């Protein structure tokens, strides 16, 4: 039987990246605009949106100030994402049985 492990770090990075992209898009900001306003490198923001880089506490503070949100909002909905990662909609048949 194949075992699948949840990569919690990946799930956190992905969730924060989606949240950052959503907030940026809702405000009509490009990555370059957000980078200039926050003082963070555009490459770092692109990597964060792609789930390849984690936003530090300082990053979230700076982005929150520019986007007009609380820094902790990047975790909003994370528990739903975690539940989806722990119990993904998958094939529920037992191996060898249909």
Q: Is the pLDDT of residue 98 over 70?
A: no
d(Cα 59, Cα 56) in Å, to the nearest integer? Answer: 5
Lowest mean pLDDT among 7-11, 25-29, 33-37, 49-53: 7-11
Give residue 9's pLDDT: 84
**Per CATH, domain 8-83 is 1.10.260.40:** yes
18 band by pLDDT with thresholds 50, 70 and 90: very high
Q: What is the 3-state secondary structure (H, E, C) of 57-75?
A: HHHHHHHHHHHCCCHHHHH
Quote the pTM value: 0.76
Q: Domain locations in the chain?
A: 8-83
What is the pLDDT averaged over residues 77-95?
66
């Amino acid at each position: 039987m194949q075992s699948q492990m949840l990569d919690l770090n990946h799930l956190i990075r992905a969730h924060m990246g989606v949240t950052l992209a959503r907030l940026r898009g809702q405000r009509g900001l490009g990555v370059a605009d957000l980078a200039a306003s926050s003082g963070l490198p555009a490459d770092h923001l692109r990597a964060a949106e792609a789930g390849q880089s984690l936003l530090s506490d300082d990053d979230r503070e700076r982005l929150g100030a520019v986007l007009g949100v609380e820094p902790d909002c990047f975790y909003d909905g994370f528990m739903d994402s975690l539940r989806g990662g722990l119990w993904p909609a998958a094939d529920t048949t037992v191996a060898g049985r249909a």
